């Protein structure tokens, strides 16, 4: 696994520190800990981030999971995302916080935001661990951002390439020849 990583961008220690600070920012935005919050998590890249984040959030919460297709197989080029599954979440009247691993073009977050607003929530905010600066193709912004990163394809801490490397504990840049070799961009 390590052989496939070009360089480490963010270490596990840096992630741990930032996730804790992010949880404090979020908690400050929802001052009534009993009002309730629904964290709508976009599978599968966000699962490790979610698991770490919620343990620093002393708020009454529910967790909902949604699946969105954007990358098909061994590619680093996203296509127009589709909502694949929405796992039984009732968010009417609830505060919703969408959690995603990375905001790249913004298409995924836009889709899930639109879907959530259609369900009659009290509010919809978004939190992403990573933001690739300058890549947005649509007018989507995240309310909470862990790290601004350069435009490189990254893996680890939940993020994958062709469903691999999610268990790499740091966030690293994948060697470009790995996906270029597969002829998929």
Distances (CA, A) of 114 to 82, 123, 125, 168: 12, 12, 12, 32
Which among ligand IMP, Mg ion, none contacts residue 94 (Cβ within 5 to 8 A by kind)? none
Of the chain, the end-to-end C-alpha distance in Å amounts to: 21
Please identify, using beta-carbon distances, which residue of 30 and 157 lies nearer to ligand IMP: 157
Which among Mg ion, ligand IMP, none contacts residue 154 (Cβ within 5 to 8 A by kind)? ligand IMP
Which among ligand IMP, Mg ion, none contacts residue 121 (Cβ within 5 to 8 A by kind)? none
Q: Which of 104, 143, 151, 160 is catalytic?
A: 104
CB of 88 to ligand IMP, least distance (A): 21
Taking CB under 5 A as the rule, does residue 81 contact Mg ion? no
CB of 52 to ligand IMP, least distance (A): 17
Please identify, using beta-carbon distances, which residue of 44 and 123 lies nearer to Mg ion: 44
| Stretch touching ligand IMP by CB under 6 A, among 3-11, 27-35, 52-60, 101-109 | 101-109
Q: Cα(75)–Cα(180) distance, rounded to whole angstroms?
A: 9
Residue in this structure with the two tokens 């469903």, named with its chain if needed: 163
| x/- track of binding to ligand IMP for residues 26-45 (CB under 6 A) | ----------------x--x
Q: Cα(82)–Cα(137) distance, rounded to whole angstroms?
A: 17
Cβ-Cβ contacts under 8 Å for 89 (sequence gap 6 or more):
38, 40, 62, 64, 65, 66
For residue 37, list its beta bridge partners.
61, 95
| x/- track of binding to Mg ion for residues 42-61 (CB under 5 A) | ---x----------------
Which of 150, 162, 165 lies closest to 102, judged by CA? 150
Cite the active site residues. Answer: 104
Task: List residues binding Mg ion (CB under 5 A).
Answer: 45
Task: List residues binding ligand IMP (CB under 6 A).
Answer: 42, 45, 70-71, 78, 81, 100-109, 153-155, 159
């Amino acid at each position: 696994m390590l052989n496939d990583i070009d360089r480490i961008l963010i270490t596990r220690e840096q992630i741990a520190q930032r996730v804790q600070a992010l949880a404090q920012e979020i908690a400050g935005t929802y001052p009534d800990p009993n009002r309730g919050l629904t964290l709508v998590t976009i599978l599968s890249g966000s699962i490790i981030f979610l698991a770490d984040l919620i343990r620093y959030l002393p708020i009454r919460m529910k967790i909902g999971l949604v699946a969105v297709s954007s990358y098909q197989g061994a590619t680093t080029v996203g296509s127009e995302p589709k909502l694949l599954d929405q796992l039984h979440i009732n968010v009417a009247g609830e505060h919703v916080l969408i959690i995603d691993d990375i905001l790249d073009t913004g298409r995924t977050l836009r889709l899930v935001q639109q879907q959530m607003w259609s369900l009659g929530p009290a509010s919809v905010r978004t939190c992403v661990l990573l933001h690739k600066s300058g890549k947005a193709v649509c007018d989507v912004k995240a309310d909470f951002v862990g790290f601004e990163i350069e435009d490189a394809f990254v893996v680890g801490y939940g993020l994958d390439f062709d469903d691999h490397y999610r268990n790499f504990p740091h966030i690293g840049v994948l060697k470009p020849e790995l996906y270029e070799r597969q002829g998929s961009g």
